[in-house]
Structure 1
Amino acid sequence: MPGPPPGPGVVPPFAAPPTEGGRVRLWLGLGVGALALLICCGGGGAAAIGLVVSNVQAVEEQGKSVTDSYYRALVEREFGKAYDKLCDDAQRRESRADFAQRVADEPAVAAYRVGEVDPTALTVPVDVTLSGGGRETQQVTLAADQQTGGMEVCGVS
């Protein structure tokens, strides 16, 4: 007598389908995916850190450069050049002629030494020697130019 006909209720010849290493493939796939995610996110994080570091270095270099140019112009008594290093806000507060007159009336800057730029506060200390022999430390406030993105002197205290 032959067995029951195939159809509903037929018992398969095995208890569960064969896995053929399915778990190994699953874990291998998850591992590769995690590695890819780590590379992508790690690379993006490294790029972001690199961007911040290079931006800070650019601010420091530009801040020192514009401060040096400003004080060099004061030492050489080229007040127009010094005025050109001022930010737009400072130039709105004081005309070129008023700036030149005010600076000419103050004790002349004989020598100076630019300190390290504080990139968070955008300030630079400058050790100044005046023509009468007096010495003082002046604090230069910097600001970014809206058109060029370069640094400008926005105040001296």
Structure 2
Amino acid sequence: MTAPQVDEVPAPPPGPGVVAPFAAPPRDRDMKSLWIGLGVGGLVLAICCVGGVLGGGFLVAFADNLTRTQVADVVRGYLGALQTQNFQAARDEYLCAAEQRNHSVGWFKDHYGSSPVVAFSVDEDEVVIQQDIVVPAHVQQRGRVERLMEFTMSQEGTRYVICGGVE
């Protein structure tokens, strides 16, 4: 009996159900389905990119409008407190710490006690958002000509406060 050589592959045993020791040869791919798949993938990618750009633009516009509304509301609250002569609230709720140090409640009584604010208007569309946020307001005091006041805003924590333009 001779030992089988290493290079020889034994023949399959005879009989039904015998499988050859190799797989079927690969078939050529259909190039049409490849190009359809690539086209659909490219279209989905383009839609995602356009959607991302548009979504980012809408997000920036929404944030800008939200900021304009918030700072305008702060100025409205401040001028409303001056109109009702609630000087403590005008100082404590709407001014930054530096402005609170510069303007006591007595200062407000001196400047607005005898000539209170009788009317004011704040237009959100006129708010300037650049390096500083500036909110213009048309203010009418009793016995005085209507004037334009410009309030510089800053952010303390999560809220906006007036930190300039208090006269």
Q: TM class by shorter-chain length?
A: 0.7 to 0.9
What is aligned with 1:102? 107
Q: Taking every aligned residue pair, what percent have the same amino acid on both sides? A: 31
What is aligned with 2:62? 54
Q: Secondary structure at the match of 1:66?
A: helix
- The answer on 1:78 being equivalent to 2:86 is yes
What is aligned with 1:5? none
Q: 5+ residue gaps in structure 2?
A: 1-26
Match of 1:113 among 117, 121, 138: 121
Superposed CA offset, 1:72-124 (max 9, x none): 10111111111111123433x43xxx421222222432221113322334111
Distance (whole Å) between structure 2 residues aligned to residue 46 and residue 140 of structure 1? 33
Name the larger-Rg structure.
2
* Larger RCO (alpha carbons 8 Å, 6+ apart): 1
Distance (whole Å) between structure 2 residues aligned to residue 113 and residue 152 of structure 1? 18
Deviation at 1:139, TM superposition (A): 0.4
Q: 5+ residue gaps in structure 1?
A: 1-17
Kindly indicate whether the alpha-carbon contact (under 8 Å) linking 1:74 and 1:108 is maintained by their aligned counterparts in 2: yes
Moved beyond 3 Å, runs of 4+: 18-21
Q: Secondary structure at the match of 1:111?
A: strand
- The answer on 1:90 being equivalent to 2:113 is no
What is aligned with 1:65? 73
- The answer on 1:126 being equivalent to 2:137 is yes
Q: Note the aligned Cα RMSD (angstroms).
A: 2.3
Deviation at 1:19, TM superposition (A): 5.2
